[in-house]
Amino acid sequence: MINNDGKIFSIKNFMQKVGRTMSTISAVLLIFVLIVFVLLWYSSPGKMKPYLDENGNILKGSISEKIHVKINGIEQGMIIKSKDVTKPVLLYLHGGPGMPLYFLNEKYPANLEENFTVCWWDQRGAGLSYNSNIPVETMNVDQFISDTIEVTKYLRDRFGKDKIYLMGHSWGSLVGIRTAEKAPHLYSAYIGMAQMANQMKSEQIAYEYMLSEYKNIGDTKMAKKLEKIKVTETGDSLTPEYKAIRDKAMHRFHIGTTRDMDSVITGIFLPSLQNSEYTLSEKIDLWRGKISSGRIMFNKEVMSKDLTKVVTELKIPVYFCIGAYDYTCNYSLAEDYFEKLKAPLKGLYIFDKSAHSPVFEEPLKMNNIIKLDILTLTNNLADKK
């Protein structure tokens, strides 16, 4: 039998061992964090990669730059890339809201600069344009339309173009199509990539599809989570509970950002950290902007809009590029919108290997369409006209 002194000694000895173990764990974690930080810092020089000729010299007439321009009183960042600055200018409006995807070019080369001088503009409050001091009241659709027009004017003046091309991707397609309606004289054509139409209806379709699929594979845990959440077309916003599991649920069935993307972590977060053309602080701002913009913008103004009733006609050629597996901005709703939309020339292109990002998923097909149809303002390759 152990006496009281022995018990006290044993407890003290045990606590000392626990203390040493915790200190070791803390030291290991600290070293791990420092190693990760050093690796991130080392892989984040933030310098743009130039285009080189066969002799290793900077390609004559090319451009590869990261700049900030004051747009409607706010410093906003953009990346401009081209192998030949005399080519037509394309303004790419990213999705999200607040999620620039330029960094995906490393894993999924879109090669848009083969045909365009491309401006990858980070919209107000996002990525290179993140600023915690941006007034919340300016984060609205009308302001984004105004910003788009001002960026367009900057690009026209800088590159000496009367008109440029406008591509809206996902959330960017809501801003893009409304901008094209408001200022058609600025654009040669509008390209809707994963075009939004009626987002709450799209969310309902995706919700019902996922609920059915999770039941089919016997994942009762996820099915029960979804059953507790009601997503209906008559709603005007997504609940926090649904937003918390939405992307994870979608990517498991490959109906999210790309067909081969299993999760946001491995498909988006890690690639964003690996891109060497961003500094470490810019990578941090990328996700700060995503969080703040998503919180502000995914509201009634965005979710409850039925664009088929808001924008019924454009005065310029319109091209819709939709992924056959896109449930983020439902492909069938985009197709229905295309058929209702009036325009002097229309072309709908179905990418049968893509989900939400045909420009990254099927770049060869996309650039062929650009070269043969969009730049010639025809629709010979279109699946629907």
Q: Per residue in 176-195, pLDDT tens?
A: 999 999 999 999 999 999 99
In angstroms, what CA-CA distances link 245 with 223, 252, 315, 329? 11, 11, 40, 17
Q: What span, in angstroms and rounded, lies between the C-alpha atoms of 51 and 358?
A: 24
**CB-based contact 351:211 (threshold 8 Å):** no
Q: Decide: residue 304, CB within 10 A, 0-12 exposed, 13-18 middle, 19+ buried.
A: middle
* DSSP conformational letter for 98: T
Q: Alpha-carbon distance 41 to 280, whole Å?
A: 6
pLDDT tens, position by position, 91-149 = 999 998 899 999 999 889 999 999 999 999 999 999 999 999 999 889 999 999 999 99
pLDDT at 362: 97
Report, as an integer, the average pLDDT of 213-220: 92
pLDDT at 230: 80
Q: Please give the average per-residue pLDDT across 157-173, as a whole number.
A: 97
Burial 28-46 (b: 16+ CB within 10 A, else e): eeeeeeeeeeeeeeeebee
With beta carbons less than 8 A apart as the criterion, state whether 382 and 348 touch.
yes
Of all residues in the chain, the percent with pLDDT exceeding 70 is 85
pLDDT of residue 294: 73
pLDDT of residue 168: 97
Reference 99, options 44, 171, 180; nearest CA is 171
Per-residue pLDDT averaged across 192-216, rounded? 93
Extract the tokens encoding 185: 């004289």
- Residues present in the chain in total: 385
In this prediction, what percent of the chain has a pLDDT beyond 90? 66
Higher pLDDT residue, 335 or 39?
A: 335
What pLDDT is stored for residue 96 in this prediction? Answer: 86
What mean pLDDT is predicted for residues 283-288?
A: 92
Which residues lie below 8 Å from residue 3, measured CB to CB, with a gap of 6+? none
Residue 205, amino acid: I
pLDDT at 97: 87
CB 71 within 8 A of CB 147: yes
Strand-by-strand arrangement of the 89-93 sheet: 63-71, 74-82, 117-121, 89-93, 164-169, 187-193, 318-323, 346-351
Say if residue 1's pLDDT is above 50.
Answer: no
Half-sphere exposure of 378 (CA within 13 A, CB side): 8
Report the chain's mean pLDDT, rounded to a whole number.
89
Residue 97, preceding bond cis, omega within 30 degrees?
A: yes
The per-residue pLDDT for 60 is: 94
- How large is the average pLDDT for residues 263-270? 88
Instruction: State how far Cα 281 lies from the chain centre.
Output: 19
For residue 164, name the pLDDT band (cuts at 50, 70, 90). Answer: very high
The two structure tokens encoding residue 20 = 């040493």
For residue 237, pLDDT over 80 is answered with no
For the residues 9-30, what does the mean pLDDT come to?
Answer: 64
Give the whole-angstrom CA distance, residue 170 versus residue 343. 20
Q: What is the pLDDT of residue 242?
A: 83
Other CB atoms within 10 A of residue 152 CB: 22
- Encoded amino acid at 239, one letter: T
pLDDT tier, 244 (very low <50, low <70, confident <90, very high otherwise): confident
pLDDT band at 239 (very low <50, low <70, confident <90, very high): confident
User: Which of 315, 319, 385, 321 has its CA nearest to residue 343?
Assistant: 315
